[in-house]
Chain A
Amino acid sequence: MSASDTAQAKGVGGAPLGLYVHVPFCASTCDFCAFYQTQPTAETVLGFLDGVKAEATLVDWPRPITTIFWGGGTPGLLAPRQIEVLGATLRERFLGEPQEWSVELAPASVTVERLAAFKAIGVTRISLGVQSFSPALLEGLGRQHTKEQIYRAHERIRAAGFRSVNLDLMFALPGQDEASWMADIDAAVALAPDHLSTYCLTFEEDTALWVKLSQGKVKLDIEREARLYEETWARLAQLGYEQYEVSNFARPGHACLHNLNTWGMHEWIGLGPSAASQHAGWRGANIADLALWRERVARGERLTEDRVALTPALLAEDALVFGLRRNAGVDLAPWRARCPEAPWPVVEVLADRLVAEGLAERAGSRLWLTNRGRLLADTVGAEIMAAFEIESEQISL
């Protein structure tokens, strides 16, 4: 990873370039999900495909794409023919062959025909949204698949022969005890996936779950969440999965390159409504409205929100904030070289303190969080942001 850190810190051509496509269709809305999605109809899907085609012509493609990620929504809701159209649309624009091409799929929509279409356009990695193997918990999440569908989908994916398969799991669900979570891990590992993502249930605003939380129907239990995190990390290490980020584990050689690219503050191009981009000197997200996005791209405009300029200081700050979520942590030296004006002395004081309190470790210029520290990555992140912005106040106190 340090070679990639260095490449990014230099900000030169030849660095990784990601491509994210947001497929905004879902058959129904999950209680926990805050991503932009809408009901698919023949018309909206065609509109989406045309929109991506139009948007792709508006983007400056500076160098070959290294990784692709199709997320959503449920890209698996596209018909095989539509998958091929979308794949062809993209291939017309990007050069060369990506190292990794991931697609997120929901178990209920995995068909042999769709998998064949994915395979045909060059997809290398499937991420399957299992969430849980427990029928009761699946029900509680408002999920639209059964345990049997999970197994059938997995069999088909393996049969189609993708290079990497990931399973998404969720924990700290209402009604889930430690034993049932360990059983979910074991059931997932029994399928021998190349990669596992384990997500602690998050209460996001604008979700049904958030409403339940504010109504007191479900309760937050931080201590329980912390315990489940620790048990998950320990258990998966035992089972031969190396943790490389807060929620991500892989067998050697199967870490998700696209996400590593993101956390390393490299560049990526986002297409589709609500898709985020970080390239050509700015970061931002497309408008989260299919019709509006479509209308604008048809007129030759990309309507973006939360647009910020990518300065060396912002990238250095984010490389620290997001890099420290990774087990490998972050190499400070290249960022120091790229952005010497950043408040490194303050960062060093913070780093020393993290190390002194057993929340981080350090070897040379590389700093990483211990398990205890990684559980506090948001607080650490806020401290880093405070260090970058309120340096003078810090010193005066």
Chain B
Amino acid sequence: MPEPMSAKNTRNFCIIAHVDHGKTTLSDRLLEHTNTVSQRVLTAQHLDSMDLEKERGITIKSHPVTMTYRAKDGQDYKLNLMDTPGHVDFSYEVSRSLAACEGAVLLIDAAQGVEAQTVANAQLAFGQNLKIIPVINKIDLPSANLELCTRQLEDILTIPAEEAILASGKSGIGIVDILEAVVARVPSPRWSDYPQARILVFDSLYDAYRGCIAYVRVFSGSIKAHDMMMLMSTGQKAEVKEVGIFTPKMEKCTVLNAGDVGYIVSSIKTPSEVKTGDTITIAARPATEMLPGYKEVRPMVFCGLYPLESDDYEKLKAGLGRLQLNDAAFVYSSESSLALGFGFRCGFLGLLHMEIIQERVRREHDVEIISTYPSVIYHIVKQGGEEIDVDNPVNMPDPGTILEIREPTIRASIIIPNSSMGDMLSIIMEKRGVCEHTDTLDMNRVMLRCVLPLNEILVDFNDRLKSVTHGYGSMDYELGDYMASDLVKMDIMINGDPVDAFACIVHRDKAESKGRQLCEKLAEIIPPQMFKVAIQAAIGGKIIARDNVKEMRKDVTAKCYGGDISRKRKLLDKQKEGKKKMKQIGKVSIPPDAFIKVLQNN
């Protein structure tokens, strides 16, 4: 370890960028240049440790790292780099990581220019009063367009173009310039003169042996092992067991001082008790005000997760429990469905978060799962003024008792090529959205600012955006207000029995077409049945669409004599076993994969 450096020589910064603009490669170069990680040890994308993160090129957990850099002024600086989650679903996590910094390196891909996420992240950084260092990355690409990038910097992000650093993470161009800019432009740690200790929790990790490990930025005061700390949001006290820094692996140290970024292991075992955004103080001399910006994170998107094999229920339960240890934003509770058996109602920050959790359950916990339609939380105002929240269509009260249903909306920024404008506007309209502003970005692209119901973007919005823009479109969003809307609960019934897994809340105008589509799909997917089976879509008992499952035509063995009886029985036994595995909806046996197919296809 080098000599302890004063807070004056500490710089806390992060790198923000649109997906694939080269954030991780650039981070690796910085680590390499400062000899934090030797080149030999440096595997590609060192900071993204989760397989899923590497594969998708996104960062889910924070990966802070402390580097030491001897600047051209001859002094040593401690540089704390916060690698932040890059997706809107984790915008609160992003905002907490940003809150732990004083500066941000904003990466723009020289060939792609500014994207929706670049704008969103830059705005988050402005909101935290961070000093922004614009870096135009991948300048050695043949398709690099520096002129366009610098103009966009000024026009869209209002950042003076002359501040931009030209770089290439891949070839190592501009790395020293970036490090020098961090030293020169990013202010030294703020709020360090507050009289008591205030330490921001910006992430946490669960360790099977040590319990919850809080990732922290010390703003004022200091913290060391055996201190009695206090979490200000709850008043909960705990003994500090260990403090340390990230090199990038965790390395124990004696004390964390104002300006430092590191971790705290305490006597708290349960990660959900250490909330991202909370302020830790020293129990003996507690701060009176928390650091700004703390809020309870609430899931926005919900769906049911069920094991494909009912025997896997316990395995799924254990898997979800372990995932939650590392991801306090993910919530779940048990529920059961007539169609799908026993499973869990799960809440996520957004769609990507949902996808990631599902994928991790499959991969890391080896459970095949099926998920129901995603849903959002509706605010329902009942006759007499009572208000309730509903996150599962099954819990929707009787329509007669409802005065008004309000649904969450988002404010989206969508960047698309000019040529896709017409298609995009019709998708937005179809999704019940309103386009409020259109800004021209450059010769080829426009940015639409729209308000859309959250529930409309849950399923295929992003895919369709990519499809009509041939992959060039991008979107970012933040949550907007709740708005009243003419929504109804639609049931899907098989031979008159409602199938809970398919119940959904839809806009009245779309109910019929969605109902018809679902009925058709089910009629097509459910294998032919011996008895007549009707599939109906209904709103409050009124049938709005119907279809019939195909009738079975022929299932008979031609030869059945003495020697065939045992064979025949085996065959029928198999058929019978197959039937046992089927889901019984009333009198109808439906193979479980029929539900999955319908749910997957939508």
CA distance A222 to B553 in the complex (A): 7
**Chain B: which residue is nearest A389 at the CB level?**
B576
Asked if B565 contacts A318 (CB within 8 A), the reply is yes
The answer, yes or no, to whether B459 is at the interface (CB within 8 Å) is no
- Of A118-126, A137-145, A178-186, A377-385, the segment with at least 4 beta carbons within 8 Å of chain B is A377-385
Asked if A262 contacts B561 (CB within 8 A), the reply is yes
Q: Which residues of A contact B570 (CB under 8 A)?
A: 306
The answer, yes or no, to whether B129 is at the interface (CB within 8 Å) is no
The answer, yes or no, to whether B184 is at the interface (CB within 8 Å) is no
Which of these, A321, A379, A385, contacts B530 with CB under 8 Å?
A: A379
Q: Contacts A229-B554, A276-B566 given; indicate if A378 touches B575 (C-beta within 8 A).
A: yes
The answer, yes or no, to whether B437 is at the interface (CB within 8 Å) is no
Q: Which residues of B contact A329 (CB under 8 A)?
A: none
Asked if A263 contacts B566 (CB within 8 A), the reply is no
Asked if A202 contacts B557 (CB within 8 A), the reply is yes
Q: Contacts A376-B554, A377-B556 given; indicate if A357 touches B531 (C-beta within 8 A).
A: yes
Q: Which residues of A contact B552 (CB under 8 A)?
A: 376, 379
Asked if A246 contacts B565 (CB within 8 A), the reply is no
The answer, yes or no, to whether A374 is at the interface (CB within 8 Å) is yes
Q: Which residues of B contact A390 (CB under 8 A)?
A: 576, 580
Q: Which residues of B contact A262 (CB under 8 A)?
A: 561-562, 565
For window 554-568 of B, CB contacts with A under 8 Å fall at 554-563, 565-566, 568
Asked if B576 contacts A382 (CB within 8 A), the reply is yes
CA distance A268 to B556 in the complex (A): 24
**Chain B: which residue is nearest A288 at the CB level?**
B563
Chain A nearest CB from B182 CB (Å) reads 64
**Chain A: which residue is nearest B552 at the CB level?**
A376
Q: Which residues of B contact A308 (CB under 8 A)?
A: 566
- The binding surface of chain B is classed by DSSP as loop
Can you name 5 A-B residue pairings with CB atoms under 8 Å?
A71-B561, A199-B559, A229-B556, A270-B563, A385-B569
Question: What is the interface of chain B, defined by CB distance below 8 A to chain A?
Answer: 530-532, 552-563, 565-566, 568-573, 575-576, 579-580, 584, 586-587
CA distance A340 to B579 in the complex (A): 26
Asked if A374 contacts B556 (CB within 8 A), the reply is yes
Asked if A325 contacts B559 (CB within 8 A), the reply is no
Which of these, A200, A226, A259, A274, contacts B561 with CB under 8 Å?
A: A259
- The binding surface of chain A is classed by DSSP as mixed
**Chain A: which residue is nearest B570 at the CB level?**
A306
CA distance A386 to B579 in the complex (A): 8
Q: Which residues of B contact A376 (CB under 8 A)?
A: 530, 552, 554-556
The answer, yes or no, to whether A243 is at the interface (CB within 8 Å) is no
Q: Which residues of A contact B586 (CB under 8 A)?
A: 397
The answer, yes or no, to whether A235 is at the interface (CB within 8 Å) is no
CA distance A36 to B586 in the complex (A): 44
The answer, yes or no, to whether A247 is at the interface (CB within 8 Å) is yes
- Of A56-64, A82-90, A158-166, A278-286, the segment with at least 4 beta carbons within 8 Å of chain B is A278-286
Which of these, A247, A284, A385, contacts B566 with CB under 8 Å?
A: A284
Contact residues on A (Cβ < 8 Å of other chain), bracket:
35 or more
Asked if A359 contacts B530 (CB within 8 A), the reply is yes
Q: Which residues of A contact B587 (CB under 8 A)?
A: 353
Asked if A276 contacts B555 (CB within 8 A), the reply is no
Chain A nearest CB from B532 CB (Å) reads 6
For window 346-392 of A, CB contacts with B under 8 Å fall at 353, 357, 359, 374-383, 385-386, 389-390
Which of these, B553, B554, B562, B579, contacts A382 with CB under 8 Å?
A: B579
Q: Which residues of B contact A200 (CB under 8 A)?
A: 556, 558
Asked if B572 contacts A375 (CB within 8 A), the reply is no
Which of these, B554, B565, B572, B584, contacts A222 with CB under 8 Å?
A: B554
Which of these, B553, B557, B566, contacts A223 with CB under 8 Å?
A: B553
For window 313-334 of A, CB contacts with B under 8 Å fall at 318, 321-322, 325
The answer, yes or no, to whether A16 is at the interface (CB within 8 Å) is no
Q: Which residues of B contact A275 (CB under 8 A)?
A: 563
CA distance A278 to B561 in the complex (A): 12
Which of these, B556, B558, B562, B584, contacts A278 with CB under 8 Å?
A: B562
**Chain A: which residue is nearest B574 at the CB level?**
A382
Which of these, B555, B563, B565, B573, contacts A379 with CB under 8 Å?
A: B555
**Chain B: which residue is nearest A321 at the CB level?**
B572
**Chain B: which residue is nearest A262 at the CB level?**
B562
Q: Which residues of B contact A259 (CB under 8 A)?
A: 561
Asked if A380 contacts B530 (CB within 8 A), the reply is yes
Which of these, A18, A225, A263, A268, contacts B554 with CB under 8 Å?
A: A225
Q: Which residues of A contact B579 (CB under 8 A)?
A: 382, 386
CA distance A359 to B565 in the complex (A): 23
CA distance A270 to B568 in the complex (A): 17
CA distance A18 to B561 in the complex (A): 12
The answer, yes or no, to whether A20 is at the interface (CB within 8 Å) is yes
Chain A nearest CB from B534 CB (Å) reads 13
Q: Contacts A382-B575, A382-B579 given; indicate if A246 touches B530 (C-beta within 8 A).
A: no
Asked if B562 contacts A18 (CB within 8 A), the reply is yes
Q: Which residues of B contact A268 (CB under 8 A)?
A: 562
Asked if A246 contacts B558 (CB within 8 A), the reply is yes
Asked if B572 contacts A381 (CB within 8 A), the reply is yes
CA distance A130 to B280 in the complex (A): 91
Q: Which residues of A contact B575 (CB under 8 A)?
A: 378-379, 382
**Chain B: which residue is nearest A353 at the CB level?**
B531
The answer, yes or no, to whether A22 is at the interface (CB within 8 Å) is yes
Q: Which residues of A contact B569 (CB under 8 A)?
A: 318, 321, 385
Q: Contacts A22-B563, A357-B532, A380-B530 given; indicate if A247 touches B558 (C-beta within 8 A).
A: yes
Q: Which residues of B contact A378 (CB under 8 A)?
A: 555-557, 571-572, 575
CA distance A374 to B553 in the complex (A): 10
Chain B nearest CB from A313 CB (Å) reads 13
CA distance A141 to B557 in the complex (A): 19
CA distance A29 to B560 in the complex (A): 20
Chain B nearest CB from A220 CB (Å) reads 10
Asked if A283 contacts B572 (CB within 8 A), the reply is no
CA distance A199 to B560 in the complex (A): 10
Asked if B565 contacts A325 (CB within 8 A), the reply is no
Q: Which residues of B contact A306 (CB under 8 A)?
A: 566, 570
CA distance A325 to B553 in the complex (A): 16
Asked if B565 contacts A283 (CB within 8 A), the reply is yes
**Chain B: which residue is nearest A380 at the CB level?**
B530
Q: Which residues of A contact B562 (CB under 8 A)?
A: 18, 20, 69, 262, 268, 270, 276, 278
Q: Which residues of A contact B565 (CB under 8 A)?
A: 262, 276, 278, 283, 318, 322
Supplied contacts A229-B556, A270-B563, A379-B575, 9 more A-B pairs, CB within 8 Å: A20-B562, A223-B553, A285-B563, A321-B568, A353-B587, A357-B532, A376-B556, A385-B569, A385-B573
